[in-house]
């Protein structure tokens, strides 16, 4: 199976609004092949999500999967605090998202298109997403916690938005710095460190 090249920040495709995909297009060999190649690419990375623009394809298409083994280095307390659970592989096409809670779920994110860096990004804890699946059938997802974060991150890609556009700039760090200093901190500790005055509390936008 072909593994696709993941493009990095600076490529114009990452800042463009992606094209709508018709139901007829979804069933074509080219889109079905793209989906399979994206599946292999995100697993090889490894990552929990990948948007078509990240492989230089300007389509409203994302793949998501959060395997049990990706969570093996987290404690039970960390999994509970971050509301992270395994998510089976699935495809979302032409997703439309509604935020169901304020942008006050704060934690570090990384991105395969900005390798080696992390930052705290405020997200909604709960979202609703309507989309088409890999066969062009409608799906409706209501997600919370880490799954909601992944959805917001990947759907942002389809609008030309990267996590660095939403991050707390003071928290921006290398992956090594995150691993050495912040990885084991609780969410409350991170908020106290990077937002002591509560300046980043924002309503639903």
> So which residues are the catalytic ones?
154
Q: What is the pLDDT of residues 177-189, one digit of tens each?
A: 999 999 999 999 9
pLDDT at 203: 44
With a CB cutoff of 8 Å and minimum separation 6, the contacts of 118 are: 108, 109, 110, 171, 172, 173, 174, 175, 177, 178, 182
| Predicted model pTM | 0.94
Contact criterion met (CB below 8 Å) for 104 and 199: no
Residue ranges of the domains in the chain? 12-194
3-class DSSP state of 9: coil
Give me the percent of the chain exceeding a pLDDT of 70.
Answer: 95
pLDDT at 1: 67
Record: fold of 12-194: Peptide Deformylase (3.90.45)
Mean pLDDT over 6-33 rounds to 98
Q: What is the pLDDT of residues 131-155, one digit of tens each?
A: 999 999 999 999 999 999 999 999 9
């Amino acid at each position: 199976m072909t593994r696709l090249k993941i493009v990095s920040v600076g490529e114009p495709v990452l800042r463009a609004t992606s094209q709508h995909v018709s139901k007829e297009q979804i069933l074509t060999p080219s889109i079905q092949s793209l989906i399979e190649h994206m599946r292999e690419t995100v697993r090889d990375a490894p990552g929990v999500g990948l948007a078509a623009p990240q492989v230089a394809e300007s389509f409203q298409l994302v793949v998501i999967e959060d395997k049990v083994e990706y969570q093996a280095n987290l404690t039970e307390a960390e999994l509970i605090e971050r509301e992270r659970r395994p998510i089976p592989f699935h495809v979302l096409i032409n997703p439309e998202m509604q935020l169901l809670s304020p942008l006050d779920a704060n934690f570090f994110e990384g991105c395969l298109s900005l390798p080696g860096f992390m930052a705290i990004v405020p997200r909604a804890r709960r979202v609703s997403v309507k989309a088409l699946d890999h066969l062009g059938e409608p799906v409706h997802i209501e997600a919370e916690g880490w799954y909601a974060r992944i959805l917001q991150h990947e759907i942002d890609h389809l609008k030309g938005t990267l996590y660095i556009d939403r991050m707390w700039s003071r928290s921006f760090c290398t992956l090594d710095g995150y691993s050495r200093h912040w990885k084991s901190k609780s969410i409350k500790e991170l908020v106290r460190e990077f937002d002591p005055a509560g300046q980043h509390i924002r309503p639903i936008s």
